[in-house]
Amino acid sequence: MRQSLGDLAIGGAKPAFAEALHVGRPNIGDRDRLMQRINDILDRRWFSNDGVYVRELERRLADMLGVEHCIAMCNGTVALEIAIRATGMSGEVIVPSLTFIATAHALQWQEIRPVFCDIDPATCTIDPERVRELITPRTSGIIGVHLWGRACDTEALAAIARQYRLSLLYDAAHALGCSAAGGRMIGGFGDAEVFSFHATKFVNSFEGGAVATNNGELAQRIRLMKNFGFSGYDNVIYPGTNGKMPEVSAAMGITSLESLDDFVAANKRNFDIYAEQLAGVPGLKLLPYSEDARNNYQYVVALLDSEVAGTARDNLIEVLHRENIMARRYFYPGCHRMEPYRSLQPHAGLLLPETERLVRQTVVLPTGTSIEPENIHEITDVLRCALANAAALNSLLAAA
């Protein structure tokens, strides 16, 4: 490295990277194809209200996911809110705390109490056995999260939902192009699954989302709800809101889908280099992907040993940021420790020991098409050096 991490820790050195390396920097497909589509949209003067590109995106997604219905939306959060309302959730809904805050907010926004559930430490996804323990007469549903593209235990959750007659949704924002073990694509589980095409997702539509389902009646209700309840030109038959995806977003979504295999290949290449470079580094391991499932490799998640996590992890993040390596603490500190939940449910953490442990261990590293192999070699050099000098760095940062 060009400078000492000791100097860096107290702010006296130049960052290793002139341009910041981010988690989730947008992937861009074929620009020429995108501009052709945008010009076509301008020529048609049809910018919204289920134009040809929205309908094409929905068809392509449904085919890829192996589902009967796919409804494109303006973003993943609105898609989740509408799916929650369309499936009749109310009262209390069981959801992991280890997720992006939008998963919980989509419930709270509709005056539904999110009941935070712990994770299975082996999968980092919602633990079905803990779900059972949280069911009360007020429970109306379960929302599983396919965290970092890794599928929930869909069979166990489906069995619980059937037994207790609960609605079952999945937040699949991380999981486009992924499958459960055995190869069944994520998208067709539960009553519906919700995807995000936000700019940080490996397939993006600038901003957008979608609901996938095999339930025709539910799909029709969601279509009504995302367009103010309109059925036809001037006939409103259902309460709704404006969740429509604009044509320009659909054009970007289609263009991104066409490059999906290239994006996955870049992510896989990056993951493999990280795995090779970090193999055997004391105190750090990469969260593996299952070889029995299809993966998009969108997230490179490193875990610090629990014995050195917490403050040490935060100091490591600080060092990386000072080097212009924008690693993240996904998903720290857990939804239950954010407002309004930490005030409404101040003791929730007592039932979330595995979540509490994991949020102090995670370091999510930059990847995507903007990251080159030589970048990863330099990032892993920083990681190895920082971990080898952890005690000194912790002292310097504490004193800075």
The residues with which 192 forms a beta bridge, in sequence order, are 169
Report pLDDT for 396: 67
Largest CA distance in the chain: 69
For the cut 70, the answer to whether the pLDDT of residue 307 exceeds it is no
Q: Is residue 217 pLDDT above 60, yes or no?
A: yes
Neighbours of 137 (CB within 10 A): 7
pLDDT over 70 at 199, yes or no: yes
Measuring CA to CA, how many Å separate 385 from each of 20, 311, 325, 382? 19, 17, 14, 5
Residue 6 pLDDT grade (very low, low, confident, very high; cuts 50, 70, 90): very low
Task: Name the pTM for this structure.
Answer: 0.94
Q: End-to-end alpha-carbon separation of the chain, Å?
A: 22
Using pLDDT thresholds of 50, 70 and 90, give the confidence band for residue 1: very low
- Predicted confidence band of residue 10 (pLDDT cuts 50, 70, 90): very low
115: which DSSP letter? E
Mean pLDDT in residue range 155-168:
98
Q: What is the mean pLDDT of residues 335-339?
A: 98
- Rounded distance, CA 95 to CA 150, Å? 16
Distance of CA 386 to the CA centre of its chain: 28
At residue 164, the pLDDT reads: 98
Q: H or E segment at 297?
A: none
pLDDT tens-digit series, residues 20-51: 898 989 999 999 999 999 999 999 999 999 99
392 vs 346: which has the higher pLDDT: 346
Q: Over pLDDT 90: what percentage of the chain?
A: 87
Query: What's the whole-number average pLDDT of the chain?
Result: 93
On whether the CB atoms of residues 135 and 109 are closer than 8 A, the answer is no
pLDDT exceeds 70 at position 13 = no
Contacts of 266 (CB under 8 A, 6+ apart): 27, 367, 368, 369, 371
Q: What pLDDT, on the 0 to 100 scale, is given for residue 391? A: 65
- Model confidence at 9, pLDDT cuts 50, 70, 90, reads very low
| H helices present in 173-259, as ranges | 216-225, 247-258
Ranges 1-10, 109-118, 136-145, 234-243: which has the least confidence = 1-10
Say whether pLDDT at 16 is over 90: no
Bridge partners for 145 per DSSP: 171
* Residue 182: Cβ-neighbour burial (10 angstroms; 0-12, 13-18, 19+): exposed
Q: How far apart are CA 143 and CA 100, in angstroms?
A: 13
Q: How far apart are CA 9 and CA 391, in angstroms?
A: 12
In this predicted structure, what is the pLDDT of residue 394? 66
Of the two residues 13 and 318, the one the predictor is more confident about is: 318
Contact assessment for residue 378 and residue 17, using Cβ atoms and an 8 Å cutoff: yes
Mean pLDDT of 351-374: 97
- Which pair of structure tokens corresponds to residue 359? 């949020």
Q: pLDDT at position 389, please?
A: 84
Per-residue pLDDT, averaged over 358-372, amounts to 96
Identify the H or E element spanning 212: strand 209-213
Q: What is the pLDDT of residue 390?
A: 73
**pLDDT tens digit sequence for 55-85:** 999 999 999 999 999 999 999 999 999 999 9
Arithmetic mean of pLDDT, 176-181: 96
Percent of the chain residues past pLDDT 70, beyond the cut: 92
Delineate the domains of the chain, giving CATH numbers in brackets: 5-24+260-327+366-399 (3.90.1150.10), 31-258 (3.40.640.10)
DSSP string, 90-113: -SEEEEESSS-HHHHHHHHTTT-E
